[in-house]
Chains A and B, each alone.
Chain A
Amino acid sequence: MQVTEELTIKDTLITDYELLDLANRIVSRFIANRYIPKREREDVQMAIIEKFLINKSRIINRFQGKSKASTYCIAVLNRMCLEIIRKEIKHWNLSEGKHKEIREDCVLNSEENLIIKDEIRLLKDIIALFYDEKEKIVLFLAYYYQLNVNNDDINNYCLGECDNNFYELFTINDKESKATIFANLTIAVNKIENKNLKNDATRIWLNKIINTIISKLNYPLNRANYTKESLQILFEYYYNEKEH
């Protein structure tokens, strides 16, 4: 009797209808991001559903209830889908749509606007995944790229520890040299984090962060081709959007 009850509870982890719905969402997202060609939709969808059903008891047993069951299933299906993409990508002809016609007009159409919006959201998520460092990263990048730094971002970093001199550090008077930028950032770190760093350490840290963000933006399968320059443009979009 107990076993039956346990099985009933565990079987409700996901219904067949939900499974189909989630698989559809996941595959659609990969199609929208051009990892999977449209024509492969049904095959990939069926492949991940089949894999899920074959491994269902193992998947259920591994679930400890720390997250919502449907989120766990999304994570499982998403990983399965990534495995299929890694395996099959060479066989898929992804050339269609990859080389877009270069237009001469500078006005963005609605599709391009949507793509930019998605990229900004991706950058926002990537920054959020730095957790306790995210406020510092937003502030430092904004200043590094010489954007008008918002006082809220300074406050988020210093958590009320800052005086007027501290705000002055992030005021952009003229086009400042990289040396001055790193010198000011170092003063900020040393004051707020009670450290004794040299300018070089701040420069190395920020470069490492920029490289990590670029790698994450380009991951997986070189989905994009971000460089330091294009990251700067994307960050400007992100920062301006955040302001409004």
Chain B
Amino acid sequence: MDNENKKVQHLTEEQIAVYAEALATDNSANLPDDVKRHVKECLECSNEIQSVSEILREKYKNSIAEGLNSINKRNKINLTLWLGVAASIAFIAALGYFFTKSNGVPENNLMAVDSTIFNSKTIVSNKIINQDTINNEIIIDSEIKKESIVNSTKKNEILIAFVPNKELEKLSERYKDNAMRGEEKIITTSEVKSYNTSDSINISLNKSDNQYLTVEVFDNKGTKITQLTTKENSVELNDINEEGLYYWKLINEDYDLLYCGKIIIKD
């Protein structure tokens, strides 16, 4: 009887929004089971989710560039990772405290603790970056699925190929005034280069030393298309024949990113 009188707890607007985004991107893996059960049974909530996701689809059809990839990144880094980070930092801090309290601690022990902290921070930040990359891949993947449903005509496909990639745009923006690392300006190519599909792409470098440099080319979805390593002062790329917006990265032997530029191929 009590159960009958108990008021049904519907989803909040934010939960509806989260579920609608999951439905629109066909990605429901991380949704909690109890709420999924509620959605299966509840007419009101499932209808609201469906309505919101329909509006989302409509919205994206008109402005694909906006995409879902601007969803707050902080939500993408999972909670366990943060807990792990907090626990390791606390543990390391406790260790450091213990060592500094002890008498006659050799200096290099303190240095060892310092270096442990540094290393663990590096690992943590790398993990966060990896997590971000994975999440970006998931979002990109689901966007591709979504886009393939919505835009089936060739015209739209070409249009999609020119949608800027948010992350790579940011990166290329940082290298707008040419060299970032070191004093010398390695790149003599303009930051945005335009070609026809029949052209071969030439990137000019201004190297003073003999080291190898790697050029990686990405499409606007962030997928690596090709990679070339050179010792010369220029690189010629022949693998890119389709119209679209591409990005290229220049990386040195120490895996430092030296430059990020854009290539536009349009007939």
Q: Which A residues contact B (CB, under 8 angstroms)?
A: 22, 25-26, 29, 59, 62-68, 70-72, 74-76, 78-79, 82, 121-122, 125-126, 128-133, 212, 215-216, 219-220
Contacts and interface: CB of A to CB of B under 8 A. Distances in A.
B46 A216 contact: yes
Contacts of B12: 62
A68 B21 contact: yes
A129 B70 CA distance: 24
B53 A125 contact: yes
Given A215-B43, A219-B43, A65 B74 contact: yes
Given A68-B17, A76-B13, A215-B43, A125 B50 contact: yes
Interface residues of B, number: 39
B67 to A, nearest CB: 10
Nearest to A33: B51
5 contacts: A26-B55, A65-B72, A68-B71, A125-B53, A126-B50
B26 interface: yes
Interface stretch (B33-41, B115-123, B258-266): B33-41
Contacts of A130: 40
B245 interface: no
A126 B45 CA distance: 11
Contact of A212 (B17, B40, B51): B40
Contacts of B51: 26, 29, 78
Contacts of B26: 128
Contacts, number: 107
A73 to B, nearest CB: 8
Given A26-B55, A65-B74, A125-B54, 14 more contacts: A26-B51, A29-B51, A59-B13, A66-B14, A67-B14, A67-B21, A72-B14, A75-B14, A75-B48, A78-B16, A128-B28, A129-B19, A220-B43, A220-B47
A131 B59 CA distance: 24
**Does more than half of chain A's interface fall in helix, strand or loop, or is it mixed?**
helix
Contact of B13 (A65, A72, A132): A72
B58 A126 contact: no
B186 interface: no
B208 to A, nearest CB: 46
Nearest to A121: B54
Contact of A129 (B18, B21, B23): B23
B52 A129 contact: no
A131 B28 contact: yes
Contacts of A76: 13
Given A29-B51, A71-B56, A128 B72 contact: no
Contacts of B44: 219-220
Given A82-B48, A219-B43, A72 B17 contact: yes
A75 B41 contact: no
Nearest to A220: B47
B49 interface: yes
B48 A68 contact: no
A56 to B, nearest CB: 13
Given A62-B12, A68-B70, A129-B23, A74 B52 contact: yes
Contacts of B47: 216, 219-220
Contacts of B31: 131
B108 interface: no
Contacts of B70: 68
A132 B17 CA distance: 20
A126 B43 CA distance: 10
Contacts of A131: 28, 31, 36, 39-40
A76 B49 CA distance: 11
Contacts of B74: 65
B207 to A, nearest CB: 44
B81 to A, nearest CB: 17
A232 B208 CA distance: 72
A67 B54 CA distance: 16
B28 A74 contact: no
Contacts of B36: 131-132
A126 B46 contact: yes
Nearest to B19: A129
B13 A62 contact: yes
A196 B57 CA distance: 42
B20 interface: yes
Given A25-B58, A25-B59, A78-B55, A71 B50 contact: no
